Amino acid sequence: MNRTAFSRHTLAAVAAITLFANPLWAEPAPDADGLAAVKAKRVDQAYVLPGADFRPYTAILLEPVDASFAKNWQRDYNSNSPGLGTDITNEEAAKILDQVRTGAAGVFTKSFTKGGYRIVQQPGPDVLRVKVSLSDIRVTAPDINSAGRGRTYARDAGSAVMTLEAADSVSGKLLGRAVDKRDIGDSGTMMWARNSVTNQSDFERAFTIWANDGVKALTNLKAGGNVFVN
């Protein structure tokens, strides 16, 4: 066997060993919570506890929604404002987050109810605990009561990262997690006037998409299918 033929056979053998040592169908390594990544088309990232059985869950215990701005968002916004009372105060920032929490909680409650799940306040063997967190929130034109502020035109209303975690309500065992970052009210290349009214509409539309995707994912898991693929 000449050197060229030997090299080809050697490379083929190495490739075969590598393939079987690291098969394409191998389960992904679980993370610190024991969750493994699964394919997802509807969200950026999705994780499920291997072997978790979602069939018993017919009710949802929705925890209070968490909401937080992107790091230094308020400071950066104020540094670019023209002054004249247009800065966002701490009270105004807190009001925005309260509106986000209330709006998201209402939307998720409505979506799970519409999907056939009971909303309960106490744990139980058929109850899935759901925690929704909205982080890294940016608002292009926040709700500010100021005579010195004119109209703001932008391609979007802002952005946010949604994290949804599902756990057994009795044991507290984490069963799944979904993470998705989204530009809110993205109009592509068009510039639209943005204000508190349009902000609320755009953010609630995003909440509805996330909530409906969550309901579909749970229904898929109960049926033994993949999460966030349809």
Model confidence over 102-121: pLDDT tens digits?
A: 999 999 999 999 999 999 99
Whole-structure pTM value: 0.80
Q: Percent of the chain, pLDDT > 90?
A: 58
Find the DSSP H helices in the chain.
3-21, 73-79, 90-114, 196-222
In angstroms, the CA 111 to CA 4 distance is 64
Q: 129-139: per-residue pLDDT in tens?
A: 999 999 999 99
How many other CB atoms are found less than 10 A from the CB of residue 124? 15
Give the pLDDT score at 201. Answer: 84
Confidence of residue 161 (pLDDT cuts 50, 70, 90): very high
Closest CA to 99 of 200, 185, 194, 208: 200
Q: 38-63: per-residue pLDDT in tens?
A: 988 899 999 999 999 999 999 999 99
Higher pLDDT, 151 or 16: 151
Give the dihedral sign, CA 131/137/143/144: positive
Higher pLDDT, 194 or 46: 46
Angstrom CA distances, 156 to 49, 52, 88, 144, stand at 35, 38, 19, 18
Average pLDDT, the chain: 81
3-state secondary structure of 176: strand
Give the pLDDT score at 14. Answer: 35
Domains and CATH numbers, the chain: 34-222 (3.30.160)
3-state secondary structure of 212: helix
Please name the residues in contact with 133: beta carbons below 8 A apart, sequence gap of 6 or more: 65, 66, 67, 162, 163, 164, 165
Length of the chain: 230
How many other CB atoms are found less than 10 A from the CB of residue 36? 15
Place of tokens 């609320």: 200
In angstroms, the CA 170 to CA 102 distance is 26
At 26, phi and psi to the nearest 5? -65, 145
